[in-house]
Structure 1
Amino acid sequence: MNDFATDYLVVGAGAVGMAFVDTLLDEDPDCHITIVDRHARPGGHWNDAYPFVALHQPSATYGVNSLELCPDRIDTHGHNAGMYPLARHADLLAYYDRLMNERLLPSGRVAYHPLTDYAGGEAGLHHVRPILSGDERAITVRRKLVDATWFQTSVPSTHTPSFAIGEGTRLAIPGDLPGLWKQRGNMPDHYIILGGGKTAMDTGVWLIEAGVDPDRIGWVRPRDSWMFNRRFLQPAHARIEGLLEFQLALVECAAASDSGGEMCEKLGARGVMLRIDPQVTPTMMHYAVISEGEIDLLARIEAVYRQGHVTAIAPGRMTFGDEAVTVPDKTLFIDCTATAVPKAVGDTVRPIFAAESITLQLAQTPFVPYSAALCAFLEANFDTDNERNTLCPPAPLTDTPDTYPYAVMANLMSAGRLGQNEKTNAFNARSRLHPTGPAIAAMMATGDPRLAQLAKVGEAIGANMPSVIKLGMKAKAIHEADPGWGRPSAAAARHEAV
C-alpha cells in the first residue's frame, strides 16, 4: 500500500461505517472516501457472529439507504411467522459484500483496505497498518477522520471469558453448535447457557428448535430483560398502525409512571414489552426485539440459575463465588457472556462532529444505521459543526428499565428537532433507514385516511410531553450517576487517540 490522499478516512466497514459511506457518496458527489477495516471482508462484527444469528428487527430499515436488505414479504413459518423477514448471518455478509463490490468500489470514489488497522494520526496526516505485512503507511486526509468503531461490538467469538475453566470442561460458543453433528459419538447429555442477553436467548431458541428437550437445558440468567414485542415494530409501509400504537403506548405509559420500572410494567401490560418469566421483575433493558413465539420457547427452559455471574466451571460443577452447584457430568457449557456493547460506550458525551473528526454515535436510540446515515447527510449539507451538533447531539444508550425513559425523551426531542428543519425533514422522508419517514411521506402524497390517526398520535405526544420530560429527566439523573454501560475505560482512551 503506497502513501496516498483522501477526503474522508473511515475507520470501520461494519453497519455504521457502511451506512455513513453509502449516504455520503450520494450527498457529496465530489468527495473521495477511504475505508480501512481489520476484517477480511465488509460487514464488521457480522463476520464474527454465530451462523444462526439474525436481526432482532425486520430488515426493512437495516443496512444502508441505497440497497434493500431482504425481499418485502411475510414469513410463513417459524417463530417469526406472520411478520416481515429478519436477515440472517449469510444474508448480512452477502449484502455488505454486494454493497462494496457493486456500488461503492465501482463508483471510483471509494478505496477499501481490508485487514488493516488504523494506527493513529492528527492534523490531517494519519497512519494505517496492514495486519499481514505490518508496513505502516501514511494517508493525507483532506477533510475528516470518521470513527465508525465507537460501539466496539463484542461477540462470543472475539470475547475472552471472565470465569475460570477447569481442565476437561466442555465449553463452546454459539458458533460451535451447528458443528456438533461431527461429534455424534460424544454428544452432550446436558447444555447450560451462560448469560442473560439476546445471544443467550438466540442460543436457547436454536437448541430447542434443533430438537433438544428443554429439560436438558440449564440457563444461568443473573438478570432478566424487558424486550420489545416485534409484532408492533413491523415495516411502516405495511403496518404503520402497530408503530403508532407502540409510540402512543410509550408516551402514555411514561406520563402515567413515577419510574422507568413502572413504565416498563405498564408497557408489558399492553403487550408492547415482553419478558420471559412473568414472575420475575426485569432489571435489564438492552433494546432487544423478540417475538411472542420465541418467548414461548424460552419459557420452556425451567432450570434457571439466578445466583449471579458464574466465576468458575468444571466437569460436573459450576461456581458462583463461594457457592458450588452440581451439574450433569457430560454438560456442554455455552458461553454467551460477551457484552455486545462495552460499558464505555454508554457515557456518550463526546460531540459527533469536532473539527477534523467525526465520531459516529447514536442520533436516536437504538437506530444504528439510520444514525450513521443521518450524520453523513449533516456533514454534506450543513456548513458548521455547531449546526450539525445542535441538530444531532449523541443519544443516550441506557441499559436498565429505570434509565430507559431518558432515551425515550431524547428520541422524541430529536424527532422534533429534525422534523422542524426543512433539510433533515426531507432526508427522513426519503431515508429507507428511518422507521416511518418514507411511509408517512407516501401517505401525505396520496391523502391516506390513516393520516387522521397519525395526527391523533401527534396530539397525544404533545399533550404528554411535559410528563415524559419529567420522567426522562429523573431517568437521566440515574443514568448519569451510574450509566451502566458508561464508565470511561481503556476503550474510551483509545477513542480519545482517534
Structure 2
Amino acid sequence: MADFETDYLIVGAGAVGLAFADTLVDEDPDCHITFVDKHAKPGGHWNDAYGFVALHQPSATYGVNSLEFQTEHIDEHGPNKGLHALASGTEVLAYFEKVMNLKLLPTGRVEYHRLSEYKGRNEAGDARIVSIFSGEETTVKVRRRIVDATYYQTSVPSTHTRNFAVAGGVEVVPPGHLPELWKRTDNLPDHYVILGAGKTAMDTGVWLIEGGVDPDRISWVRPRESWLWNRVYTQPGEDFIERVIDMQIGLLEAASKAGNGDEWMRLLGEQGYYLKIDEDSEPEMFHYATISQGEVDILRRIKNVIRKGRVTSIERGKLIFGEDAVELPDNTLFIDCTATAVPFRARRNDRPVFDGDTITLRPLHIPLVTFSATVAAFLEANFDDDATRNALAQPGPLTDTPATFPYAFMVTMMNRGAWAQNPEISAWLTKSRLDLASPTIAKLVAENSPKLAVLSKFQEAIAENMPHLARLGMQAKQIHEAQV
C-alpha cells in the first residue's frame, strides 16, 4: 500500500516543472500535485549556476504565468540599456522560492519533497521517492500522471565533467569562482583563458572586462562561432511589438530566398535580426543564446581568440590541442565554460508530450521552455483526450546549428497556427504573461492602435512564405535526425 496519493508527480522543481504546476493549479482547482527534486531549494540548475549569471531574455518572458519578477523594468545603463531588465541568478532563485512558498504550497494541494530522487515505479505501480540523505523510501500512488520536467537535462559549469586533462599545478576553475578573486589581490593571475564558445563564455568575457581586466590579458578558446539572437527583437510590450513582428516577417521572407538553413541565417544576420561576435566568420552554431549589441561590442575587444579546435589537455603555461599547442604565461587562470547547457544528442526522445500515464515536458514554442510548459498544463486541464492534446502540442527540437534551425522554427509556427485556430487556447494566450506577443496584440486590438498595421503584413507573410518555410524545415529535419 502506498504511503500517500497524488494526482500528478512532477519530477523536477526547476523552472519548467514550476511553470507547469503554476498553470495546472489555476486551471484545475481539484488536482493535487507532488514535487520531487534533488536540490535543497526550488529552481533546478539555477541553484548550481555561477554567481554573475543572468537571464538571456527579458525577465517579463520567464518564470511562471501568475507571478511577475519584481525587477521588470527598462534598464537605464550598461550593455542592456533601453531594453527590459534581465534578472540575476540570485533574483531568479528568490523568485522561484516565492512561487513555491507563497503560491503553490499555500494552496494545500501541493507537496514538495526536496533532496529526494524519483526511482521509478515498484511492482504495484506506485512511484518510489528516495531521500538523498537518509535513503528512506516513500511510495506514492499517482492517480493521473507522472510529469517528467527533466527532459532538458541542463548542465552548468559547476556540475559538468571536463573532457580534457589537467596537469598538476594548473589552475582551472568554473566561472562561479571568479568573484572570489578579490580575496587574493596579492596574487592575481597574469593572464585569463576562457574555455568555451557558448553564452557562459560570453558572460564571463563581459564580466572580466567590466570588472577591469585588460582585454589584452584575456585569451578566448573559441572552436566555433555562433549566431546570436539580437535581444532588441525579443522584447515584450507595446513599445517593442512592431520590432517583434518585424523579425517574424523577416524570418518568413528570408525562407523564400534561402536554399538551406545556413543561407537563411546568413540573410537574417545581414538584416540585423541575428548577431555574431566575429564579423568575418561563418558561424557553425546556434544555441538560442540572446545577446545585446552592447555585449557584442564588449566581447569584440578580446582580440586573442584561439581557433585550434577543442582543448585536449592543459599544462602549466600551455594549452594543448592534440598535436598542436599554445604557449601562455605560467600564472594563467583557465576558466572552464565548456559545459553544454542542453545536451542535444543525449535527449533523443520520440515520446509525445502526452502519453498514457506520463507527460514529458518538451519545447512547443522554441526556445521558450517555461511558456511551453504552461501551454502543456493548460492542454492537460482543458482538453479531454491525448490525441487532441498532442495535435496541439507537437514537440520541437532544440536544434544547435543554423542548418537545423528551420526545423525548430517550422514546428513553432505550426503549433502557433493550431493555437490561433482554437478559440479556447487563443483566448487564454491573450492573458498569458509568458507569451511574448498575444497579450500586447489583444490590447492594441481593443484600442484599435495604428501599430497593428504590421500585423496584417505578418499575416500576408505567413500566407506567402509558409510553403518555403516548410521546404527548409523538412530539409533541416532530415539533417537534425541524422545527427542525433
Establish whether TM, by shorter chain, passes 0.5: yes
Are 2:160 and 1:166 equivalent residues in the alignment? no
Determine helix, strand or coil for the equivalent of 1:177: helix
Query: Match for residue 368 of structure 2?
Result: 367
Q: In structure 2, what is the equivalent of residue 333 of structure 1? A: 334
Identify if the C-alpha distance between structure 1 residues 124 and 237 changes in structure 2 by more than 3 Å, giving closer, same or farther.
farther
Aligned residue in 2 for 1:125: 126
Question: Residue 35 of structure 1 aligns with which residue?
Answer: 35
One-letter amino acid of the structure 1 residue matched with residue 60 of structure 2: A
How many angstroms apart in 1 are the aligned matches of 2:478 and 2:146? 33
Deviations 1:289-319 (A, max 9, x none): 0000110111111111111110001110111
CA offset at residue 396 of structure 1? 1.6
Q: Is the partner of 2:10 in helix, strand or coil?
A: strand
Deviation at residue 113 of structure 1 after TM alignment: 1.0
Q: Which AA in structure 2 matches 1:336?
A: C
1:407 corresponds in structure 2 to 408
Q: 2:16–2:361: 8 Å Cα contact kept in structure 1? A: yes
Q: Which residue of 2 aligns with 1:199?
A: 200
Q: Secondary structure at the match of 1:237?
A: coil
Q: Which AA in structure 2 matches 1:295?
A: V
C-alpha distance after superposition, 1:67-89 (max 9, x if no partner)? 00244421011110111100111
Given that 2:76 and 2:82 are in contact with CA atoms closer than 8 Å, whether structure 1 keeps it comes out as: yes
- Supply the distance in 1 between the matched residues of 2:436 and 2:135 (Cα, whole angstroms): 42
Map of 1:260 onto structure 2: 261
Q: Distance in 1 between matches of 2:10 and 2:58?
A: 27
Q: Which amino acid aligns with 1:32?
A: H
- The CA deviation at 1:345 is 5.1
Question: C-alpha displacement at 1:344, in angstroms?
Answer: 3.5
| Partner residue in 1 for 2:350 | 349
Distance, in Å, in 2 between the alignment partners of 1:195 and 1:290 is 17
Figure out how many residues of one structure are paired with residues of the other and give that number. Answer: 482
Counterparts in 2 of 1:87 and 1:152: CA distance versus 1, 3 Å: same
Q: Partners in 1 of 2:324 and 2:454 — Cα distance?
A: 56
Structure 2 SS opposite 1:430? coil
For 2:34, give the aligned amino acid.
T
CA distance in 1, matches of 2:333, 2:66: 43
SS at match of 2:334: strand
Q: CA deviation at 1:347?
A: 3.0
Opposite residue 29 of structure 1, the aligned amino acid is P
Work out the CA distance in 1 between the residues paired with 2:304 and 2:72. 39
Query: For 1:9 and 1:55, how far apart are their aligned partners in 2?
Result: 28
Partner of 2:25 in structure 1? 25
Please tell me whether the aligned partners of residues 124 and 143 of structure 1 are also in contact (alpha carbons under 8 angstroms): no
1:227-242 equivalences in 2 (<5 Å): 227-242=228-243
After TM superposition, the structure 1 = structure 2 runs for residues 482-493 of structure 1, keeping only pairs within 5 Å, are 482=483, 486=484
Is contact 1:12-1:44 (8 Å) kept? yes
Alignment of 1:9-408 (within 5 A): 9-121=9-121, 124-344=125-345, 347-408=348-409
Greater CA drift, 154-163 or 318-327: 318-327
Q: 2:314, 2:159 → 1: CA distance?
A: 20
Amino acid in structure 2 at the alignment position of 1:201:
M
Q: Give the superposition deviation at 1:272.
A: 0.6
Structure 1 gap segments, 5+ residues each? 487-498
CA distance in 1, matches of 2:347, 2:223: 21
Give deviations 1:371-393, integer Å, cap 9, x for gaps: 00011011111111111111101
Counterpart residue type for residue 467 of structure 1: H
**CA contact under 8 A between 1:189 and 1:328: conserved in structure 2?**
yes
TM-score by length of 2: 0.98
Give the TM-score of the pair, scaled to structure 1. 0.95
User: Structure 1 residue 350: deviation in Å?
Assistant: 1.6
For residue 124 of structure 1, report the CA deviation from its aligned partner: 4.5
Q: How many Å separate the matches in 1 of 2:237 and 2:470?
A: 26
**Higher alpha-carbon deviation: 34-43 or 433-442:** 433-442
- The answer on whether the counterparts of 1:70 and 1:87 sit within 8 Å (CA) in structure 2 is no
Q: Conserved in 2, the CA contact under 8 Å of 1:5 and 1:140?
A: yes
Query: Which residue pairs with 1:491 in the alignment?
Result: none
Contact 2:151-2:347 within 8 A present in 1 as well: no
How far does residue 154 in structure 1 lie from its aligned partner after superposition? 0.1
Q: CA deviation at 1:225?
A: 0.2
1:124–1:142 CA contact under 8 A, matched in 2: no
Q: Distance in 2 between matches of 1:183 and 1:237?
A: 48
* Cα offsets for 1:78-111 (capped at 9, x unmatched): 1101111001111101100111111111111100
Deviation readout 1:7-48 (Å, 9 max, x if unpaired): 100010101000000000001000000001100000000000
Q: Amino acid of the residue matched to residue 58 of structure 1?
A: P
Out of 396-405 and 439-448, give the one that drifted further: 439-448
Write out aligned runs for 1:449-460 (5 A).
Answer: 449-460=450-461
**One-letter code of the match for 2:444?**
M
How far residue 346 of structure 1 moved from its aligned partner, in angstroms, is: 5.1
C-alpha contact 2:75 2:83 (8 A) present in aligned 1: yes
Q: CA deviation at 1:263?
A: 1.0
Question: For 1:149 and 1:219, how far apart are their aligned partners in 2?
Answer: 32
**Superposed structure 1 runs of 4+ greater than 6 Å apart:** none
Q: Check conservation: 2:58, 2:85, Cα contact below 8 A.
A: yes
Range with greater deviation from structure 2 (445-454 or 303-312): 445-454
For residue 325 of structure 1, report the CA deviation from its aligned partner.
Answer: 1.6
Q: Match for 1:38: what amino acid? A: K
Q: Structure 2: which 5+ residue stretches go unaligned?
A: none
Shift of 1:234: 1.1
Hey, what does 1:431 align to over in structure 2? Answer: 432
Go from structure 1 to structure 2 and tell me whether the alpha carbon gap of 1:430 and 1:82 turns closer, same or farther (over 3 Å shift).
Answer: same
Please give the per-residue CA displacement for 1:169-204, whole angstroms capped at 9, x wherever unaligned: 011110000011111122100000000000000000
CA contact (8 A) 1:150 1:345 kept: no
Partner of 2:468: 467
- Decide whether the 8 Å contact of 2:344 with 2:398 is kept in 1: no
Aligned counterpart, 1:495: none
Q: Which amino acid aligns with 1:308?
A: G
1:276 counterpart letter in structure 2: I
* AA partner of residue 16 (structure 2): V
Question: Does the 8 Å CA contact 1:236/1:243 hold for their aligned counterparts?
Answer: no
Q: Deviations over 1:213-237 (max 9, x none)?
A: 0000001100100001011111133
